[in-house]
Amino acid sequence: MNEKSKNKERILIVDDSEMNRMILADMLEDQYEILEAADGAQGISILQQMSSQISLVLLDIVMPEMDGFEVLAVMNQKKWIEDVPVIMISVESMPSYVQRAYELGVTDYISRPFDSLVVQRRVINTIMLYAKQRKLIKMVTNQMFEKEKNASLMVTILSHIVEFRNGESGLHVLHIQTITELLLKSLLGKTDKYQLSHEDINMITMASALHDIGKIAIPSEVLNKPGRFTAEEYEVMKTHSAVGASMLKDLPFHQDELLVKVAYQICRWHHERYDGRGYPDGLKGEEIPISAQVVSMADVYDALTSERVYKKAFSHETALQMIQNGECGTFNPLLIECLLDVADSLLEEMKAASLTSKNEKEIRSIVDEILHHEELDDSNSALQYLEEERMKYQFYASISREIQFEYTVSPSVLTLTEWSAQCLGLDEITMDPLNKEKVLESMSSQDRQNLQELLQNATPEAPDVRFKCKTSVGGKVRAREIVCRSIWSDDEKPQYLGVIGKVLADHDE
C-alpha cells in the first residue's frame, strides 16, 4: 500500500460480476481505496479482518453460494452493520427486495445500470452521514466522562471503605469487577439464555463492587479473625449478605431503578450455590439471578488466589482446579466453561489491575459500549441513556452523603444531588443560580468572588481548584473547603463549560 492510499477511506465492493466491480472501481478509485470481493463469503472474510478500517460496503444481492441478504445477516450478527454502512447495488428493484434490504440495515439502494454521478454522490453522502453520527456520539460521550468517572470513583471509595475495615488492600474490589466483566462478556458470546446487553454488563460490573457492603455491620473481631471461625462467628459473618441487601432496600429513593435492583441481587445472593447449599435463602440453579451467579464465582476465584489473614494465596491453576472440582461449592456449568475460556486473559488482567488503570479502562469501556449502543441512532434514546447514567450518579452520590454539585455555564444551571439539595434547602436543579438570592446567601460575596477568580484562572491542564471558606448549611455557618474541577471542551481552543465538585467539612480529607 503506497503512502497516498493510506490517507484514503476504504470501500469494499462485493459483487460476483467482475465487470460491475471494474465499473464501480473506475468511478471511485480516484477518491477512495477500493477492496474487492468476488462473492459473499470472500466479503465476510475481508470484513472479519478489516471491518474497523472499512468506511463503506457496496453489496450486490444476487450472488452464488452466499447472497447479499446472507452477508447482511452476518453483519448484523457480528454488529458490523452498526459501524460500517452498506449500499445495496443490484438490478433487482422489486419492492420486496428493497424492503428486506432496508430491514437488514442498508443505508441506501442503487440500481444498475450505474450512473457515475449518482454513485459518487450517494457514496459521499453515506460516508459523511456516518462521520457526522460518530462525531455526535463522541460529543455525547465526552459530556458523560466526568459524571461516569465520579460515579465509578464513588463506588470505588464506598467499596474500599469496607475492604479497608476488612484489613485488605482494596484490590479485591478491582479484581471482582475485572473478573465479573470478563465472565459476562464470555457468557454473552456463548449463549443468549440470559438476554444480557452491553449495558447490563456495564451495570453488573459496576454494581459488583458493592457485593460486600454488608460487612460494615460485622464486628471487627469477627471480620478480621486470623483463624477459623467458630460456628457462632460463622453465622454472624454470613449475615453480611442479607445486611447489605437491606441497606439497599431501605434506601428512601430510586427503588424502581434497575441499578438498585441489580446491586440488591448481588449483595443478597452472591453466596448462594447452584446446588442450593448456599445462603441466606438456599436458592438453587437458575433461581439465583445471573448477576449474583457471576459475582459469586468472581468472589471465590479472587478469595482463592489472594492472601488473607487466615490463609496463603493459591496459584491461578490450583484455584481453577478447585472450582472445577466443586471444592468451593457448586457453580453453573456454563459459568465454569466461561471461567476456563477467559483463564489466560484473566491472569493478564489481574496482574494489570490498579486503581488508576482500572478507572481509565472503565472509561474506555464505557465509550466503546456507547459507540456500539444499538439505540444511539435515535436522539431520544440517547437522551434516555444519558438520564440513566445520571440516575446512577445520583444513587452513588446519595449513599456517600456528601454535598456534591455541578454547574454548567451555557445554559447557566446548578445541579445538586438529591441529598445535597435536602441538606442545603435548595432545589435539585436551579436555573440561573448566580441571580438567585437563596443560592447566593449560602456564601459571602467576597468568598464567591475569590472562588470565581480561582475558576477563571484554571486551565484544561490544571483544572482542579480547592478553596476554603465559610458556608451556610442547614442555617449554620461553618468552615468548609470546596473541592472542584473545571470542565473544558475538547476543541482546538478549549472552552470553559462549567465545574463539578463537592463541599467538605474543614476536618474532612
Within-domain flag for 421:
yes
> How many helices (H) and strands (E) are present in the chain, helices listed first?
20, 11
Q: Looking at the structure, tell me whether residues 346 and 409 fall in a common domain.
A: no
List the domain range (segments joined by +) for residue 174. Answer: 168-351
Q: 414-445 burial string, b = 16+ CB within 10 Å, else e?
A: bbbbebbbebbebeeebeebeeeeebeebbee
The whole-number pLDDT of residue 385 equals 46
The whole-number pLDDT of residue 151 equals 53
The whole-number pLDDT of residue 185 equals 93
Read off the CATH number of the domain in which 185 is found.
1.10.3210.10
Half-sphere exposure of 484 (CA within 13 A, CB side): 26
Q: Looking at the structure, tell me whether residues 347 and 200 fall in a common domain.
A: yes
- Find the radius of gyration of the CA atoms of the chain: 28
The whole-number pLDDT of residue 350 equals 77
Q: CA 254 to CA 394: how far, in whole Å? A: 9
Residue where a domain stops, chosen among 114, 135, 151: 114
Q: Looking at the structure, tell me whether residues 64 and 179 fall in a common domain.
A: no
Within-domain flag for 125:
no
**Cβ–Cβ under 8 Å, residues 54 and 85:** no
**Cβ–Cβ under 8 Å, residues 195 and 184:** no
Read off the CATH number of the domain in which 496 is found.
3.30.450.20
Angle (nearest 5°) at CA 504 between 203 and 451: 110
Q: Looking at the structure, tell me whether residues 43 and 187 fall in a common domain.
A: no
Tens of pLDDT along the chain (509 residues) come to 454 455 688 999 999 999 999 999 999 998 899 999 999 999 999 999 898 889 999 999 889 889 999 999 999 988 898 889 999 988 777 788 888 888 899 988 888 888 888 888 889 888 888 877 777 766 666 655 555 555 555 555 565 566 656 655 557 778 898 999 999 999 998 999 999 988 899 889 988 988 988 888 888 888 878 778 899 999 999 999 999 899 888 876 666 777 788 999 999 999 999 999 999 999 999 999 999 999 999 999 999 998 876 678 899 999 999 999 999 999 999 999 999 999 988 887 877 664 444 444 554 454 455 445 444 444 444 444 444 555 555 565 555 567 888 888 766 778 887 777 877 788 877 777 888 888 888 788 888 888 888 888 888 888 888 888 887 766 677 788 888 888 887 777 888 888 888 887 654 43
Q: Looking at the structure, tell me whether residues 53 and 200 fall in a common domain.
A: no
The whole-number pLDDT of residue 171 equals 73
Q: CA 247 to CA 241: how far, in whole Å? A: 10
Q: Looking at the structure, tell me whether residues 81 and 213 fall in a common domain.
A: no
Domains identified in the chain, total number: 3
Residue where a domain stops, chosen among 93, 114, 135: 114
Q: Looking at the structure, tell me whether residues 178 and 300 fall in a common domain.
A: yes
Query: What is the total residue count of the chain?
Result: 509
**Cβ–Cβ under 8 Å, residues 388 and 142:** no
Read off the CATH number of the domain in which 72 is found.
3.40.50.2300
Strand residues in 256-371 grouped as ranges (E) = none
Q: Looking at the structure, tell me whether residues 406 and 344 fall in a common domain.
A: no
Q: Looking at the structure, tell me whether residues 191 and 259 fall in a common domain.
A: yes
The whole-number pLDDT of residue 146 equals 54
Q: Looking at the structure, tell me whether residues 203 and 85 fall in a common domain.
A: no
Angle (nearest 5°) at CA 419 between 415 and 420: 50
3-state secondary structure 247-288: HHHCCCCCCCCHHHHHHHHHHHHCCCCCCCCCCCCCCCHHHC
The whole-number pLDDT of residue 367 equals 44
Cα dihedral sign for 156, 162, 164, 170?
A: negative
Within-domain flag for 420:
yes
Within-domain flag for 368:
no
The whole-number pLDDT of residue 272 equals 96
Residue where a domain stops, chosen among 334, 351, 368: 351
Q: Looking at the structure, tell me whether residues 210 and 325 fall in a common domain.
A: yes
The whole-number pLDDT of residue 447 equals 86
Which amino acid would we find at residue 226?
Answer: P
The whole-number pLDDT of residue 24 equals 93
Q: Looking at the structure, tell me whether residues 42 and 187 fall in a common domain.
A: no
Within-domain flag for 154:
no
